[in-house]
Chains A and B, each alone.
Chain A
């Protein structure tokens, strides 16, 4: 498996990949870069599982009466699709893979602040994942990823406990990762790397970590209470036991709405790196982009009630949550305008990472704007609980977060693997994913407006045309996802060797070799210039 044996060069430079061999050197590694790769393999595994559930769902929905499975099975498919994709792919995706790999490199450190904690967080993630896989094999779970009570706590007789334990455990892995990043960014920045010289990816990781550390405990408590009611019939959420049926939703969304920002902020950070690099331009409005990440993180905690406009909560609570939700739109819009303006008078190349990043901007813009329909009370009443919601959050979480993740993987792949991938195939894949994504999810906006509720295993015949369109688009999207999987694996062995800085990017991670040595830098670098100093001869700055 070594890269060294394939290369004719006698002096293969030592790097983190060839420093040591054997399974022990991976499973007991404390190197943040190797842990990042452990995460990369695990989340790819979960992405494939979650994706297969989606494929089965889209095949099933081709016919109004359901083409493939029993309704009970369909319910388990969408539940596991959501749980796997959110808790085991999207939330760890950029932070645990790219963040783990890049945070120490970008701050100019030799590792994260707590390397052992970092390895522990991966093991915790795997244990949580095992519980979830067990639940899937042992019969599945049918509550929806939202676990609404009292259905989940007292009515569902599926594997609620196993999944709840899985999600509960995995939460701690997020908390440890967040903690590690916060401490590393605070304490381990290289000399000269002031807060406002940090790459925006670090700002995004910082904002994300704060949400992870503050929000995830609430999820843990909520799931714990759910398990308590499910197993021991302690009345908390079920009115039949004297509980409050809406309390669960308040607690759940208090975490799960900010969790959306755990997924999207890192992708915004990735895009903020890619756009300047391929436009050879300092990011437009650095501080504004940095602070808008923080603003989104803070406001994100104050908007959970917009998931509950139709639960009968007071109209005044509805008004306040509506207003706060609209406010989140503002920093998001500011970011989009700044990214776009970064292109102005740049020198733009169309390499694959850039295509993903531009695709991100387009899809995120649509996802964000359709969020206005749901922040707005009068239209949310009609659209809540329909396919409009499904379309909206897939634009944010797949069109946004996954596009950002793929863009980041393509951008830093030469650094991670030391190899290049075929740029043309990567560009084709980016375009196919963009088109396939829109074909899959755009029809769902129309379906939702027409009134088709989500989570329906069968549906009235008038919704069939749009469902067939969506399923057809999903096959295009599926093909789009397979292509990078193939050429990236191919490139690990056969790709041309990459130079340390193939894109001509700024940032400390590009100043070391590709792949980096275990200790990252022979000497701790000293930072003398602003971030994104792409302009000639000058340290771009104020």
Chain B
């Protein structure tokens, strides 16, 4: 048997702050458990029954005491609430300029795609000291991406994207666990996060001999499924141009204005009737069941890239 540490590795920027809160909570727990146990033991000995016909006087209660021991826990939990929520809130959004990696969970493996096109299974290489944002979805049931050393965890849902981020602070190999029960080999849905020095990571990226980047693969999916027939770049097609769309507000036929994010793009590809863009007819067919999660990821990478381009003025296209 291996000996075990009493603390998991602290290998991300947030690990220390989560641990500080954890230790504070442990101290609160120990203090109050110790207090209650000692008081009970003290009373048990001091007020033990000395003769069978003892009849101690009744004490009805004490209002000041009730107020006191309502106030003390209230103050303590309020403090913990503010502390932990601040921490959670601060870490909820990935920093700008994060490295973006796609994760697809399926029974029982993790599939990882880097923007440059490298693919990994049950392994994820990441550079040290750079925030990494994961966009995750599942092909089947609910999974959960859990890296104890980073103190991060997020469910991976079918039909939706969830995101999480971390910034590794330690070179090494760390556990990746699936933390949401997902069937027979749930316990085998584990992998490694491999944190490398940035230059080593670059070498790994280069050495992976990627055929094409996700964006390029997405462009092919875009072509192969006939998307450009309607989504002409200059906006003269039956569907809107996708240049400069991603990340910006879109007005729908319902009058609603939504941001064109991953969830919107996904929904529009799989169930376009619901999200028809203002000024266009609802004629786009659904691609539900025709694209794999990876093809969808690639498409999204491509549409994200198109989003960075400036929309073409319509006149330019007519010439």
Bound-state Cα–Cα, A513 to B54, Å: 24
- B67 to A: closest C-beta gap in Å: 10
Interface size class of A (residues with CB under 8 A): 35 or more
A476 within 8 A of B: no
The reply to whether B44 and A350 form a contact with Cβ atoms under 8 Å apart is: yes
User: Which chain B residue shows the least CB distance to A329?
Assistant: B77
17 further A-B contacts with Cβ under 8 Å, apart from A376-B80, A459-B187, A463-B4, are A71-B184, A151-B141, A280-B54, A312-B160, A315-B89, A330-B74, A338-B61, A343-B47, A344-B59, A347-B47, A348-B47, A349-B49, A376-B81, A378-B21, A382-B18, A382-B22, A533-B58
Given known A-B contacts A366-B29, A366-B33, A372-B80, A378 and B181 have beta carbons under 8 A apart: no
Could you tell me how many residues of chain B have their Cβ less than 8 Å away from some Cβ of chain A? Answer: 87
Stretch with Cβ within 8 A of A (4 or more), from B171-179, B215-223, B252-260, B302-310: B171-179
Q: Does A155 belong to the interface (CB within 8 Å)? A: yes
Across the A-B interface, the 4 shortest Cβ-Cβ residue pairs = A451-B148, A239-B159, A385-B179, A285-B61
**Chain A hits for B92, CB < 8 A:** 315
Stretch at the interface among A169-177, A316-324, A412-420: A316-324
Q: For residue A74, which residue of chain B has the nearest CB?
A: B187
- Interface CB pairs A-B, < 8 A, 18: A75-B183, A148-B181, A151-B183, A245-B157, A284-B62, A310-B144, A312-B160, A312-B163, A330-B74, A340-B40, A347-B48, A348-B47, A362-B37, A372-B29, A378-B84, A451-B175, A460-B175, A536-B55
State whether B148 touches A450 (Cβ < 8 A).
Answer: yes
Asked if A273 CB lies within 8 Å of chain B CBs, one says no
Q: A326 vs B36: C-alpha distance in the bound complex, in angstroms?
A: 20
User: Which residues of A line the B interface, CB within 8 A?
Assistant: 71-72, 75, 142-144, 148, 150-151, 155-156, 238-240, 245-246, 279-282, 284-288, 310-312, 315, 318-319, 322-323, 326-327, 329-330, 333-334, 336-338, 340-341, 343-350, 358, 361-362, 365-366, 369-370, 372-373, 375-379, 381-382, 384-386, 446, 449-451, 453-466, 468, 533-536, 538, 540-542
Q: Which residues of A contact B62 (CB under 8 A)?
A: 284-285, 341
A134 to B204, CA, bound (A): 54
Q: Which residue of B lies closest to A244 (CB)?
A: B159
A377, closest chain B residue (CB): B88
Residue pair B187, A155 in contact (C-beta under 8 Å): no
Q: With both chains docked as a complex, state the minimum distance between the C-beta of A119 and any C-beta of chain B, in angstroms.
A: 38
What distance in Å separates the Cβ of B42 from its nearest Cβ neighbour in chain A?
9
Contact A312 B180 (CB under 8 A): no
CB–CB A245/B160 < 8 A: yes
Once the chains bind, are B181 and A455 in contact (CB under 8 Å)? yes
Cβ contact within 8 Å between B180 and A346: no
With CB as the reference atom, state the residue of chain A lying closest to B44. Answer: A348
- Asked if B70 is at the interface of the complex by the 8 Å CB criterion, the answer is yes
Instruction: Give the shortest distance, in Å, between B237 (CB) and chain A (any CB).
Output: 28
Chain B residues contacting A151 (CB-CB under 8 Å) are 141-142, 181-183
Question: Bound state CA distance, A347 and B107, in angstroms?
Answer: 61
